[in-house]
Structure 1
Amino acid sequence: MALWHILVITMKTIRIVLADDQLLIRAGIRAIIETLPGYLIEAECADGHETIAAIRKLQPDVVLLDIAMPGPSGIEVARTIRQFDRETRILVLSSIDRQEIVEQALAAGVNGYLLKDFVLAELIQALAMVLEGESFLSPKLSAMNLRSEAESDSGQISRLTTRQTEILRHVASGRTTKEIARELGISPKTVEFHRSRLMEKIGVHDVTGLTRFALHTGIVSCP
């Protein structure tokens, strides 16, 4: 029974609408998709209006969507699609790697964002993941996001006072309030005050969050 069910799923043809204003790009992507068993490009669209109309009419499994198109942009198209269709998976194919654009696309309801310099394995993975209901980001975008988080953490560290950094180090090392107070020659209430201010500055709500931040930024190292 389980095997039969898997075979039925495997045999299902995944219907795709391809939206990009450049004919050569569409031709290249179509050529790649046609090499993948189980995928069919049902329609090609050259602008935002065509794309929205095609989604309404065909209700495909996936739309491969460019961001910079005539008429409504890819982000506006995604936003419109999500007003009447929550099922079609939207995978952006774009050469734009700016973080604010990626964030706008995700906020508009896209399921994945793949840069156009992808390798075949990335496209296959992206399609598989969005069809399973997961989200996908190009590895390059994920790396950029990690760098952005690190830069944000660095900014937060620079706003900490010397005393707060000192207390953070002790908290992350597992010291109790009394132990920290004794070590630094201050009262337990002063330690609690500084710990509370640390949580506000860093944006966490407990000692675990403080410890994670200290490890991530290198204020303390893993034992």
Structure 2
Amino acid sequence: MKLIIVDDHRVVRRGISSLLRSMMPGLEIVEVETGQAAINAWGEHRPDLMLLDMGLPDISGLEVARRIRQRWRGAGILFFTMHDELPMVRQALDVGGLGFVSKSCAPEELMEAVKRVASGQPYIEHPIATRLAMNQERAADHRLKDMTQREMEVLLMYARGESVPAIAERLCVSNKTVSNHLAILKSKLEVSSSVELIHLAVDAGLVRYGQLEEARRV
């Protein structure tokens, strides 16, 4: 089985690689750290599946999945991320993700998810699947549920410290389009300033304060 791991933290990639190799002998793993590298790696290696983080330094995991599924319809994508908000899970599935597990899942569940998605079967981490089935949204989930995939993409980038021109360049849209998305987000999320928007993203678990500090240093 061939697997691509996409995560912008080398320690995380190496840790996951070591864990999966110890549990699944013979597993071939390719590691990449950016969204564009992930797309290129899929075309080069044609793996059985991709283990994909949501927050990447260039384009988000949502956009990576969308672009890969546009070019390779049968691509098996397993989202593996710190996010477990139901709106984020639904968007991951909407863009073509076949599976979704959080980074807090048990190693055995991660292995099961990898095997299932590699064989073309869907897999969602059990607590998340239960919440989806029962539609149990938390307070932060409720505020995010009406966001589109592109709005979520813009919010993730903006909350991590990207400027409007930088977001526009990554998404191949105009600065005005990004600004319009941000204005709509403030209205939908009922906030009045950019600072409140970033605080909401942190409160919802979409970005951590450590990530914000890291983004400012880059």
Q: TM-score range by the shorter chain?
A: 0.5 to 0.7
Give the match for residue 67 of structure 2. 80
Give the match for residue 124 of structure 2. 137
Q: Say whether the 8 Å CA contact 1:18–1:65 is kept in structure 2.
A: yes
Match for residue 55 of structure 2 among 46, 58, 68: 68
Q: Distance in 1 between matches of 2:31 and 2:58?
A: 15
Greater Cα radius of gyration, structure 1 or 2: 1
Q: Say whether the 8 Å CA contact 1:114–1:126 is kept in structure 2.
A: yes
Match for residue 38 of structure 1 among 5, 26, 30: 26
Q: Say whether the 8 Å CA contact 1:21–1:45 is kept in structure 2.
A: yes
Work out the percentage of aligned pairs sharing the same amino acid: 31
Which letter does structure 2 place at the counterpart of 1:38?
G
* SS of residue in 1 equivalent to 2:58: coil
1:73-107: per-residue Cα shift (whole Å, max 9, x none)?
00100000011112331111101011111111100
Alignment of structure 1 residues 90-129 onto 2, 5 Å: 90-129=77-116
Give the match for residue 20 of structure 1. 7
Q: Say whether the 8 Å CA contact 1:33–1:40 is kept in structure 2.
A: no
Q: Distance in 2 between matches of 1:139 and 1:71?
A: 30
Segments of structure 1 that go 5 or more residues without pairing to the other structure are: 1-13, 152-223
* SS of residue in 2 equivalent to 1:109: coil
Q: CA deviation at 1:110?
A: 0.8
Give the match for residue 217 of structure 1. none
Segments of structure 2 that go 5 or more residues without pairing to the other structure are: 139-218
Which letter does structure 2 place at the counterpart of 1:39?
L
Q: Say whether the 8 Å CA contact 1:16–1:60 is kept in structure 2.
A: yes
User: Number of aligned pairs?
Assistant: 137
Which letter does structure 1 place at the counterpart of 2:64?
V
Q: CA deviation at 1:58?
A: 1.1
Q: 1:55 to 1:145 in 2, by over 3 A?
A: same
Q: Say whether the 8 Å CA contact 1:113–1:137 is kept in structure 2.
A: yes
Which letter does structure 2 place at the counterpart of 1:31?
S
Q: CA deviation at 1:150?
A: 9.7
* SS of residue in 2 equivalent to 1:93: strand
What's the TM-score, normalizing by structure 1? 0.58
Which letter does structure 2 place at the counterpart of 1:134?
Q
Q: Distance in 1 between matches of 2:109 and 2:46?
A: 25
Q: Distance in 1 between matches of 2:97 and 2:69?
A: 9
Q: Distance in 2 between matches of 1:54 and 1:84?
A: 13
Q: Distance in 2 between matches of 1:89 and 1:127?
A: 10
Q: Which stretches of structure 1, 4 residues or more, deviate above 2 A after TM superposition?
A: none
Q: Say whether the 8 Å CA contact 2:3–2:51 is kept in structure 1.
A: yes
Q: 1:133 to 1:29 in 2, by over 3 A?
A: same
